[in-house]
Amino acid sequence: MTSGEVMGRDGVARTALLAVVLLDVVLLALTEVAWLSLQVGSVPLPVSILVAAVTTPLAVRLVDRCFPGSRLVFAPLVVWMVVVVVFGFWSPTGTGTFPPDWRPIVLIAAGLFPGVWVASRPVRPSSEAGSPG
């Protein structure tokens, strides 16, 4: 097996992983928008905000590990933001699914800010990760 074949297989595997991560981001964004209006009685229960704050940085970090130093690290954030905005402000009935209060703004902030912070932090090579210093 030549080094070109290994690099080709590695590139295909990384591209497939990127596609799976982006599909996961789309599904998570749809779920977060759908569950944003969850209430217990009259009290809002914005669990989807916590889910967004945890999952978007994880998706960004996974893409960053597969494509270190690439601008593809922002792909999960862009896809997540587009899905949240489109399905939050638009629906077949025309009114959108966002509740008319503070929750949509906090959802967008909770998904974007941690993801951008993680994207701005470079991935350390695994050889440096275990060494003290």
**pLDDT tens digits, one per residue of 23-58:** 999 999 999 999 998 989 988 888 999 999 999 999
Q: Is residue 132 part of a domain?
A: no
Higher-confidence residue of 105 and 124: namely 105
Burial class (CB in 10 A: 0-12, 13-18, 19+), 61: middle
Q: Which domain holds residue 31?
A: 10-122
Q: Is residue 2 part of a domain?
A: no
Mean pLDDT of the chain: 86
Q: Is residue 83 part of a domain?
A: yes
Q: Is residue 4 part of a domain?
A: no
Burial class (CB in 10 A: 0-12, 13-18, 19+), 92: exposed
Q: Is residue 78 part of a domain?
A: yes
Q: Is residue 60 part of a domain?
A: yes
Q: What is the Cα–Cα distance from 65 to 126, expressed in whole angstroms?
A: 10
Q: What is the Cα–Cα distance from 71 to 66, expressed in whole angstroms?
A: 12
Q: What is the Cα–Cα distance from 64 to 54, expressed in whole angstroms?
A: 16
How many domains are contained in the chain?
A: 1
Q: Is residue 1 part of a domain?
A: no
pTM: 0.82
